[in-house]
Amino acid sequence: MKYFLITGLIFILGLTLFKYKEKKNKNIINLVNKQGRTYTDFQPNGQGKIEIVYDNQLSILEAVNLSEEKINPLIPIKVKKIENEKIYIEKL
């Protein structure tokens, strides 16, 4: 009996986490054309982190610089597109 209870709890936890991830990925599309700022520096066409309001809270997310110029931290940016769950930004 104990085995079935533990197995059931693990299954429910896994299903809940899967649904949360699915919901989060759908909401990322809503970031297109939103403004935020860089959290780290971005090399030309490089990756870094941005600070942006996501799901009604300030979040730090991975992003890719679309431009050929370096972007320093705390610079205003705009999300230009989302592709393959990646956020692409440009400096404002």
Q: Give the model confidence (pLDDT) of 50-63 as tens digits.
A: 999 988 889 999 99
pTM over cut 0.75: no
Please tell me the predicted confidence (pLDDT) of residue 56: 86
Q: Report pLDDT for 54.
A: 86
Domains of the chain (ranges plus CATH)?
2-91 (2.40.50.140)
Instruction: Determine the pLDDT at residue 41.
Output: 96
What is each CA distance from 17 to 5, 10, 26, 86, in whole angstroms? 19, 11, 14, 20
Structure tokens at 77: 């940016």
pLDDT digits (tens, 9 = 90+) for 5-36: 666 667 665 655 444 444 455 578 899 999 99
pLDDT of residue 34: 96
